[in-house]
Protein backbone atom coordinates (compact mmCIF):
# COMPACT_ATOMS: atom_id res chain seq x y z
CA UNK A 1 0.00 0.00 0.00
CA UNK A 2 2.75 2.45 0.98
CA UNK A 3 6.37 2.26 -0.02
CA UNK A 4 9.07 2.01 2.62
CA UNK A 5 10.19 5.57 1.87
CA UNK A 6 6.69 6.92 2.42
CA UNK A 7 6.42 5.14 5.76
CA UNK A 8 9.81 6.47 6.88
CA UNK A 9 8.79 9.97 5.87
CA UNK A 10 5.47 9.67 7.74
CA UNK A 11 7.20 8.49 10.92
CA UNK A 12 9.88 11.19 10.78
CA UNK A 13 7.32 13.88 9.97
CA UNK A 14 5.11 12.81 12.89
CA UNK A 15 8.04 12.83 15.32
CA UNK A 16 9.33 16.23 14.16
CA UNK A 17 5.86 17.76 14.11
CA UNK A 18 5.15 16.51 17.64
CA UNK A 19 8.43 17.91 18.95
CA UNK A 20 7.85 21.31 17.34
CA UNK A 21 4.26 21.40 18.59
CA UNK A 22 5.41 20.58 22.15
CA UNK A 23 8.11 23.27 22.03
CA UNK A 24 5.64 25.89 20.78
CA UNK A 25 3.13 24.99 23.48
CA UNK A 26 5.79 25.12 26.18
CA UNK A 27 6.88 28.55 24.95
CA UNK A 28 3.32 29.91 25.00
CA UNK A 29 2.20 28.25 28.25
CA UNK A 30 2.67 31.43 30.31
CA UNK A 31 0.55 33.46 27.91
CA UNK A 32 -2.17 30.80 27.89
CA UNK A 33 -2.41 30.91 31.68
CA UNK A 34 -2.68 34.71 31.58
CA UNK A 35 -5.16 35.22 28.74
CA UNK A 36 -7.28 32.05 28.84
CA UNK A 37 -7.87 31.85 32.57
CA UNK A 38 -11.58 30.84 32.53
CA UNK A 39 -11.63 28.84 29.34
CA UNK A 40 -11.95 25.47 31.13
CA UNK A 41 -15.41 26.50 32.36
CA UNK A 42 -16.47 27.42 28.84
CA UNK A 43 -15.31 24.03 27.58
CA UNK A 44 -17.13 22.26 30.40
CA UNK A 45 -20.34 24.18 29.66
CA UNK A 46 -20.06 23.36 25.95
CA UNK A 47 -19.59 19.64 26.65
CA UNK A 48 -22.53 19.68 29.07
CA UNK A 49 -24.70 21.41 26.45
CA UNK A 50 -23.80 18.81 23.80
CA UNK A 51 -24.53 16.06 26.34
CA UNK A 52 -27.90 17.64 27.11
CA UNK A 53 -28.79 17.75 23.42
CA UNK A 54 -27.77 14.10 22.99
CA UNK A 55 -29.81 13.10 26.05
CA UNK A 56 -32.89 14.90 24.76
CA UNK A 57 -32.46 13.25 21.37
CA UNK A 58 -32.29 9.75 22.86
CA UNK A 59 -35.23 10.35 25.20
CA UNK A 60 -37.62 11.70 22.58
CA UNK A 61 -36.62 9.59 19.60
Tens-digit pLDDT profile for residues 2-56: 899 999 999 999 999 999 999 999 999 888 888 888 889 999 999 999 999 999 9
Residues spanned by the domain of 9:
4-60
What SS3 class is residue 1? coil
The pTM score is 0.53
For the chain, first and last CA: distance in Å?
43
What whole-number distance in Å separates Cα of residue 52 and Cα of residue 45? 10
What whole-number distance in Å separates Cα of residue 28 and Cα of residue 5? 34
Q: How far is CA 27 from the centre of its chain?
A: 17
Q: What is the DSSP letter of 2?
A: -
Amino acid sequence: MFSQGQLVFAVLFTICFSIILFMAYKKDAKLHKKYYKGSAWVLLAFIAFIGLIATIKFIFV
